[in-house]
Amino acid sequence: MSARFFTGLILIFWLGRQETVAQVGQSGLVWIENALENNQVSKADSALKAQLKLAAAEGMDDSLPLYVAYVGRIAGEKGGDAKGIEAVNRFVDEFLEKGLSPNLNKQAFREAAGYFEYIGATALAYEANIKAYDWASKDSKTSFKERGRIQNNLASYSLYLGKREQAKEHSFKAIALYRKEPKLDPESMYLSYNALGNINWFGSRFDSAEYYFTEALKQFPEMEATPRNQHYRPAMVLNNLAGVQAVLGKTSAGIQSMEMTIRHLSDFIEAMSDPLEIAKGQEFLYQAIDNLAGMHKGLGNYSKARELLEYAYEQKKSTFGPESAEVFKSQILLGQIYFALREYDQAELHLRQGLGLMDQFEGDYIDWKADAFGTLARLEESRGNTDSAKNWYLKADAEYQKILGGDYDFIYLDFLTSASTFFAAAGLKKEALNAAEKGLKYVRANQGAGTLLDFNHQINLAEVHFLLKSYSESLRMSRTALETFKEDFLRGERSWLDSIQIETQKPKAILIQVKSSYFLETQRDQVFLEKSIAMLDEAIDAVERRKTVLQSDQDMGLLIADNQELYDFAKKLDLELFEITGEKRYMESLLSRHESSVFNRLRSRLQRFDNLRFANVPSDIQETELQLKTDLAQSLQMDGEGFESYLIANSAWEGFLETLKTKFPDYYQFRYGNLEASLDDIQKTIPAGTSLIRYMFVGNDLTAIVMDADSRDLVKLDYGKVANHIATLTENWNQPQVCLAILNQLYTHLWQPILPKLRHEKVIIIPDGDLYNLSFELLTPTRLNDYSEFANGCLLSKHSISYHFHSHLLRSGRSPQSYQSNYVAFAPGFSDQMKIDYLSRVRDSLYLDRAYLTLVPQPFTQELVSRMKRLLGGKTFTETQSTIQNFIGSAGDNRILHIGTHAESNNLSPDFSKLIFSKSGDPASLEGSNELFAFDIYKLNLRAQMAVLTACETGKSTVAPGEGMLSLAHAFTYAGSQSLLVGLWKIDEKASSQITEIFYQKLAEGMDKPSALRAAKLHYLAHASGRALSPEFWAGIVLIGDPSPIALDTNIPWWKYTLLALAILTLAGLIWWRRYALQAKSRISKLV
């Protein structure tokens, strides 16, 4: 956690200014103050000159010190701070020439210090206080208390200037002076204890800091009962204490201290009527909220941290304006939390905005700049921009050196950790070891061995040695660190939450130990590998324990991502054990670890949405579920009886899960169930006459498990040589020779090695990583010369291929279900006339959806659904009828659900991918919403044998390869759709419509879904020509899920026969009547 989250540490600097204002009691000075507050500088200047003239005339020289600050403020308003400083110095010099008492000279310099502090000239304020103290020492009437106050202010100024040893000396001098008074003054002792707490905080002497802050809190009951003493000052100390507690691993106590800080500040603001005091309280309040966010960030609860930071940021902009110093601080904090969330573009945007705004201020913000530089360094490192990262690291270190001297705060300690691993990974041994050892030596010198920080820095040094391939040293260091953990940390009395915080680095320590042993071991036999696996399972258990404190599954997903290397190495060892022994249990373990990580990632994103609801689960059950989760999380926030509360809350939660398992088994399995399955069980779910290929990345290595009902094999693949081919492929469709060469190479590395294990024409593929962006049917055994050769030269000519996203969720032999129709379709079309009509309904441009007006019309899709309705029956919702309201009400319980609309993919959050429907004419209906997000789908009834999403980029990867497709497939599967027809990339609308039409015709003939899609694509290739033969037009359409045929209802209901009979009778009657009328007319003519 960055120390920048604790920004309220030195608010004591306002003390000098507050005492000055308190001393100004004359009506003339009040009049000047009011004029300045109302920006009436000329009137204030005239009043100042008149009052000074009067004082000189009447010999009131003893009142002149009271005017020092006003001389500076008025001159500064007229000519800038430099003029203000010049005016104050000149005024004080002229006053000293009068040769008055030391007491008055002392007062003049204290007032000057107040002005210099007011304009942010901290160094000048320090010098003025030095002179004030010199004069106070010459004045026998100046009390020890007042001299101590001056020393205390000098300590605060020194700390603000980064001179911590000097600050400490001033603080001890202050305490010594206070103790000379007959009776200790609690306010004075509070000021000194708080200053000493700050000094030790910034020197990373956290035990001492905790002691002094605790002593400061003890002084308030003896002080005068004012809002400042009852609320503002306790808030300041609690804020600082919370930061110390967080670093010491006392997380639950730290959160409690921070929440008390916020309550005190809210009470202070409510109690005050002075606008200046209210503004000061608001500034501190928003800083405290930032600090509480830092506490949650330290636990890995990133969503809560971002929520708090965003709130504080908006409040600061509203209260102080968009260009205040507090705003740039929020921008930097937001940059840091977005970096933690791996949203790098947002992180960089906020950091650069903060740095840009910071440059507009002349204050001392070196620490903020250094911290921002450090975050940018880690950001560029994550992006793989080594040179840029190195540049930012060097800039950050230069800024830190300006303020640190010999004391390291934990901002710099954290920076040293990041820099050391970066240098090690880049092969810069000297720089890496220097940074890592510097941090460890400082921690041990100031905190001693056996502390949380000592453990963390031991692990950092071990990791540096590992990255430098000094495996013996990394093994020794990691073992030593783990022994420290066992002997020291667990002996203290800590809450369950504290133990979770302390164990944060334990999985990394175990991983380094296991990997170091692995690379040192020359005989990696079964015994050695099994022992290593057991240790990794212990590390995974530590990760599981940390999950209990996270508020959302999103944070759990981020925690899993942070420990991805741990899971990957465990899979690597499972794989090696299988290769050594051939025992299927190791293949099962490998597959189980992989599938669990995939499904947990899918589950994790859902918890972000407070209003998320699931179909077929009563709302009261879901409300109970949410409340029990909240109770469980809150029980872990308590000290004292917290563990007992946790046991009670956990028992209630376990009981609820048993209820879910019994009464709502599908929902339970989907959200909480154990997804482990034996290979035998998986094989039973594979359809007859079908092979299953499960691709899995183990680190950077690719493996495939090939199974059918009777056999299973594991094949290692050489993916490294083609790792960048898929991305190159999708960017070069218009260059046939480039693409055809790539497709042949991909066949050689991805398909040819498993070909001997494939026994069937029908294949189900479960991709992983980049492979989600590949249409396997394009792979070619030989290099083709032209796109026109695809029909006979690629896998499409040999196999019917479908896809899935999880081997444990395969379905076969589904029980028969009833549906209300064969087909329902939604096709808005987005014609120009629809947009004109929409514009005519919009009365306020504020609510105009400009993106809706740019949607490309989809005429081919509208024509397709009309023809398919004639073929299959059912109902279509086109143009203005294709609304989200009609979709919710009519999409479910149809064999085929066709969604022919536009879609947009959110690159940051897959669950915000959306389908776009036509604008509703009813503003009361869902507030006119026309967007359906992925997370909305879970609450809908979309029961169908197949959902067809011919929308653009429906299945495109977003955050990571395959995540977009997985999110939609996940949502539609839960909502009841057995399979999906989706696009891997943006599909040409005309080509998509042509393929989909033939696909439907083949389904109507009784083909299974993969065979029907294969036939449709081959038909398309047989009739297409020129550019339309490019894979970009046709190969991106894929089937995910159940491959079985769709049992379309070919029977005509009795009422349709009745209507047909009535129509025939009516037509016959009309014909008879017409003939009768003509004959009658002919007879009349003859008579005439």
**Secondary structure (DSSP) of 519-549:** HH-S---HHHHHHHHHHHHHHHHHHHHHHTT
The chain-wide mean pLDDT, for the chain, equals: 83
Half-sphere exposure of 461 (CA within 13 A, CB side): 24
Last residue of a domain, one of 505, 520, 535: 520
What pLDDT does residue 554 have?
43
Strands 979-983 and 931-933, how do they pair?
unpaired
d(CA 678, CA 691): 17
Percent of the chain predicted with pLDDT > 70: 82
CATH number for the domain including 422? 1.25.40.10
DSSP 244-277: HHHHTT-HHHHHHHHHHHHHHHHHHHHH---HHH
Check: CB of residue 715 under 8 Å from CB of residue 704: yes
DSSP 796: G
Kindly tell me the number of DSSP H helices and DSSP E strands found in the chain.
46, 14
Question: Stretch 101-108: mean pLDDT, rounded?
Answer: 89
Are residue 710 and residue 856 in the same domain, yes or no? no
Is residue 627 in a domain?
no
Q: Report d(CA 553, CA 539) in Å as an integer.
A: 20
pLDDT at 138 > cutoff 80: yes
Domain co-membership, 829 together with 940: yes
The pLDDT of residue 241 is: 92
Is 70 exceeded by the pLDDT of residue 321? yes
Q: Where are the alpha helices (DSSP H) in 384-523?
A: 386-404, 410-425, 429-447, 452-467, 471-488, 496-502, 506-520
Residue 14 has a CB neighbour count (10 Å cut-off) of 17
Between β-strands 979-983 and 1037-1041, what pairing exists: parallel, antiparallel or unpaired? antiparallel
Predicted confidence band of residue 846 (pLDDT cuts 50, 70, 90): very low
pLDDT confidence of residue 11: 34
The amino acid that residue 388 corresponds to is: S
- Decide if 52 is inside a domain: yes
Cβ contacts of 1016-1023, under 8 Å, gap ≥ 24: 1017/777, 1017/796, 1018/791, 1018/796, 1018/797, 1020/991, 1020/994, 1020/995, 1021/790, 1021/791, 1022/791
pLDDT value of residue 1078: 56
| Residue 931 vs residue 1054, higher pLDDT | 931
Q: Are strands 701-707 and 712-717 parallel, antiparallel or unpaired?
A: antiparallel
Token representation of residue 325: 């110093």
31 within domain boundaries = yes
* 250 is a domain residue: no
Q: Is-contact 126 161, C-beta < 8 A?
A: yes
CA-wise closest residue to 896 among 931, 946, 846, 855: 946
- Residue 47's pLDDT is what? 84
pLDDT recorded at residue 758: 95
Q: Are residues 762 and 732 in the same domain?
A: yes
| Residue 350's CATH number | 1.25.40
Question: Does 399 share its domain with 480?
Answer: no
Q: Which domain holds residue 697?
A: 690-803
* Residues 825 and 961 both lie in one domain: yes
Q: Is the pLDDT of residue 219 over 50?
A: yes
Both tokens of 764, joined, read 């189900």
Distance in angstroms (rounded) separating the CA atoms of residues 323 and 358: 9
Asked if residue 917 belongs to a domain, the reply is yes
Residues 842 and 954 in one domain: yes
Average pLDDT over residues 81-105: 91
Looking at the fold, whether 468 and 346 belong to one and the same domain comes out as: no
Q: How many domains is the chain built from?
A: 6
Of 495, 520, 545, the position where a domain reaches its end is 520
Place of tokens 């920004």: 7
Indicate whether 831 and 954 sit together in one domain: yes
Q: Are residues 827 and 763 in the same domain?
A: no
pTM exceeds 0.75, yes or no: no
Looking at the fold, whether 70 and 107 belong to one and the same domain comes out as: yes
How far apart CA 795 and CA 708 sit, in angstroms, is 19
Where would I find the H helices in 842-960? 850-853, 859-872, 884-890
* Closest by CA position to 536, among listed 554, 522, 517: 517
Query: Looking at residues 1045-1069, what average pLDDT do you find?
Result: 63
d(CA 518, CA 511): 10
Is residue 561 assigned to a domain? no
SS3 content of the chain, % helix, strand, coil (to 5): 70, 5, 25
pLDDT at 501: 52
Please state which of the ranges 482-496, 885-899, 903-917 shows the lowest mean pLDDT: 482-496
Other Cβ atoms less than 10 A from the Cβ of 794: the count is: 26
53 and 128 in a common domain = yes
Q: Is 376 in the same domain as 446? A: no
Q: Is residue 893 part of a domain?
A: yes
Lowest mean per-residue pLDDT among 297-301, 459-463, 980-984, 1073-1077: 1073-1077
Residue 239 lies in a domain: no
Which CATH number fits the domain that encloses residue 736? Answer: 3.30.420
Whether the per-residue pLDDT at 690 is higher than 90: the answer is: yes
Residue after which a domain boundary falls, among 343, 375, 407: 407
